[in-house]
Structure 1
Amino acid sequence: MDLNFTIVGNESTNYVLDTRRKIAMSIDIVFFLVGFFGNGSVIYLTIRHPGLRSIPNLMIANLAVGDMLVVIFVILVNILHYVFASVRLIFTHYCEFILFIQLISQGVSVLTLTALSADRFTTVAYPLHKQRYARKLSVWTVFAIWTTSVVVLWPIFVYVEDTTCWFADDTSYTVYILCIVFLLFILPAVVMIVCYVLMAKELIRKKPNLKINSRGGRKQQKKRLRLALIVLIMIVTFILCSSPFYTWLIVSRFDPLNVFVQNAFMNDAKLMMLKFNSTVDPVILYLMSSTYRKHLIDNIQVCLCPRKSHHRVINSKPSVRTFISRIADLPRHQQSRETIV
């Protein structure tokens, strides 16, 4: 999906194009660093710490895996292309592959956010049912998300022409594009909005009867509401960042002169929004989640000062009395515990 620019033999024109490439490369480097270390740290912390392996946290880690596809296979390849112009020639069917990766990331992201929205709604509306069955379905949900995305988007390798780097001009391909937009954007967006509207109604209905006597109960309730707010911000960010891409995808199919497709500003804008969406979720998570932020800081301290961190861990071992009290309280906590961000 490269843009073809007419380069005039003029110093000023060449300078403008060269400056534009430098600015684009600088932005891509920032996106790569933030996206790679942000999404990578979320995945690492979820795997490394058992306390973060709750259902919503596993979904957030799955969201980070989808974003890493764009960070590695799109942003990094673009950076290498700025340095080595022939790097894209290494890939066979480069256009189909890049479009497939972008749409896979979009599909995984939107389906994961939809699952998170449903998880937050069931937590509020049916807490007992959710605690009983959700853990059994979490792995299958992640599997279904990836399987659905791959099955729906696999025809891209057939429909996209490598010579033109775009979909073939055919009615069936237009129908396929509309199906992609409906299945991977419009329908999930409607489901997410409905889930949050129903969740808001449940919170309003249960508020007069809600009694949280213990300090731990109030803290748990605040964490649940904070997680719902984090997911809501991620959803709004996704919709805002993905709307230009899907709008461009639809309008370009009904543009016989390809004026919209060949518009350099529109191409740069929608690609920039997709890259931003693949890097911003970890930033939102670390800014709003004290749990993830604490684990991140602790792991950074371990990497920078391993001896000091090891000494602190040894000195912070609980006493025998504290250990016995924790063992005594374990059955009670196992019944009501839900680890969230």
Structure 2
Amino acid sequence: MPSDQSAGDSMASGLLNTTNVSDPSEMVKCNQSANITENCTMEKVFVQGISHGPIAILVPILFGIIFIVGVIGNGTVIFTVARNKVMRNVPNILIVSLSLGDLLLILVSVPFSATIYTLKSWPYGETICKFNFYMQTMSLGVSVFTLIALSADRYMAIVDPMSKITGKTIGKAMTVVGVIWASSFLLAIPDWIFSSTSDFRMEDGNYGYMCTPYPLALYPAYPKTQGLIRFVVFFAIPVVTIGFFYLMMAYILIQSGQSMPCEGSKSAMNQQRQIAARKKVAKVVLSFVFIFLICWLPRHIYILWFFYDEYGEYNDFWYGFQIFGFCLTFVNSCVNPLALYFLSSQFRKFYNKYLFCCIPTVRVYNPLEPTSTMHNFNSTVRRASSTTNTMVHSMSQSMC
């Protein structure tokens, strides 16, 4: 892209100050030794001048909040399902898998990523650099594939509710979780292989290091290919798949509503309760999907624009959009437990029990009280005279 000589000279000094490259979009478009020419798209180079601005303070504060909320929220979800046998059903096992992936990302990657926009040089070494990128991709894979599995589980709960009683659902769920984690580990291997640290000369004359997701020698062919593959595998295909499941669920629910027995009959009331319970759980899963879309769509938009729009200008808008999208990808790892708290009454009771046990005014939420939903759930399951419809209704309540 054409640029005048004075602008090129000023950006050349900024190029040497490029340090903590947190993602493909922050990779320089020229080698550090290259001259500023018309073929070097310097308008898109990430210049590490933000270490002197408010971003250097705001980003670590935000990541500190993400760390605290994410550890407490995801840890509580895992502890709740592990501690209470009544919570161990298929959707909750998948949610634990989702929370565990988010928790690992928060514990491993957030502390290092929090300093990317503050420090002028990557101080943690090449092993941490590789592990950081590896954990980000691994956690992304766990999140995406678990959301697909949750959507498929909700679809099967509506299409064939009896399978929840007759099938070995817990064992199947554990097998699905194992496949999800194995696939995520494998898909993250290229990030471990290609990510590395590169040295550069800083403005003060000293040398520093920048952590990049691939060697400069592979630029720009590899990042363009990687960005497109990540968009297709970790976003486009999952969104289409999940959308298909929910469209089919909506169609089946509409059909079942039309074929429902006469209002007022016992059969109609049971069927209405079953449909309401399934819808409730499906809404929780759908909230996870919307959170994922909101948190990851800006990131993919930015990366695809950066690598495929050769004539686009890297201006203040894209600079802010880049940081916004980068932070949102980590926000995604801490907000799912919040969605569970507001949408699932069963999880909310256990949240209040474990997190607010020292606050007397909140201890009224006791899931063990005889009048609670949890007690009714257990009583319904234990009752020897329960009918098949009652069993289906109890099993379909899942989380809610």
TM-score band by shorter chain is 0.7 to 0.9
Equivalent position of 1:117 in the other structure: 151
- Asked whether the 8 Å contact 1:252–1:261 carries over to 2, the reply is no
Equivalent position of 1:24 in the other structure: 59
CA distance in 2, matches of 1:191, 1:315: 41
Equivalent position of 1:340 in the other structure: 398
- Asked whether the 8 Å contact 2:295–2:332 carries over to 1, the reply is yes
CA distance in 2, matches of 1:21, 1:191: 39
Equivalent position of 2:70 in the other structure: 35
Of 234, 241, 258, the residue aligned with 1:208 is 258
Aligned length in residues: 325
CA distance in 2, matches of 1:88, 1:31: 21
- Inter-CA distance 87–296: structure 2 relative to 1 (3 Å threshold): farther
- Asked whether the 8 Å contact 2:125–2:197 carries over to 1, the reply is no
- Cα deviation for residue 115 of structure 1 reads 0.6
Equivalent position of 1:231 in the other structure: 285
- Say if 2:249 is the partner of 1:199: yes
Secondary structure in 2 matching 1:207: helix
Equivalent position of 1:61 in the other structure: 96
CA distance in 2, matches of 1:300, 1:19: 34
Structure 1 alignment gaps of length 5 or more: 8-12
- Asked whether the 8 Å contact 1:40–1:68 carries over to 2, the reply is yes
Structure 2 alignment gaps of length 5 or more: 1-20, 27-45, 199-209
- Inter-CA distance 128–272: structure 2 relative to 1 (3 Å threshold): same
- Inter-CA distance 282–256: structure 2 relative to 1 (3 Å threshold): same
CA distance in 1, matches of 2:319, 2:224: 23
Shifted more, 98-107 versus 42-51: the winner is: 98-107
- TM-score of the pair, normalised by structure 1: 0.80
- Cα deviation for residue 88 of structure 1 reads 5.5
Equivalent position of 2:174 in the other structure: 139
- Say if 2:357 is the partner of 1:294: no
- Say if 2:187 is the partner of 1:148: no
**1:103-147 alpha-carbon deviations (Å, 9 max, x no partner):** 222211111111111111111112223543333310111011111
Secondary structure in 1 matching 2:71: helix
- Say if 2:306 is the partner of 1:252: yes
CA distance in 2, matches of 1:203, 1:324: 28
**1:162-184 alpha-carbon deviations (Å, 9 max, x no partner):** 32614322646644443332222
Of 121, 125, 132, the residue aligned with 1:98 is 132
Q: Percent same amino acid among aligned pairs?
A: 22
Shifted more, 49-58 versus 155-164: the winner is: 155-164
- Inter-CA distance 248–201: structure 2 relative to 1 (3 Å threshold): same
- Asked whether the 8 Å contact 2:48–2:120 carries over to 1, the reply is no
- Cα deviation for residue 92 of structure 1 reads 2.8
Whichever residue aligns with residue 398 of structure 2, its letter is I
CA distance in 1, matches of 2:98, 2:136: 14
CA distance in 2, matches of 1:80, 1:283: 26
- TM-score of the pair, normalised by structure 2: 0.69
- Structure number, greater radius of gyration: 2
Secondary structure in 2 matching 1:89: coil
**1:191-246 alpha-carbon deviations (Å, 9 max, x no partner):** 00000000100001111233583777655543321111111121122112111222
Whichever residue aligns with residue 60 of structure 2, its letter is M
CA distance in 2, matches of 1:154, 1:315: 49
Shifted more, 178-187 versus 49-58: the winner is: 178-187
CA distance in 1, matches of 2:271, 2:177: 30
CA distance in 1, matches of 2:170, 2:146: 15
CA distance in 2, matches of 1:87, 1:172: 24
- Inter-CA distance 331–99: structure 2 relative to 1 (3 Å threshold): same
- Asked whether the 8 Å contact 2:137–2:191 carries over to 1, the reply is no
Equivalent position of 1:10 in the other structure: none
CA distance in 2, matches of 1:73, 1:30: 15
Equivalent position of 2:10 in the other structure: none
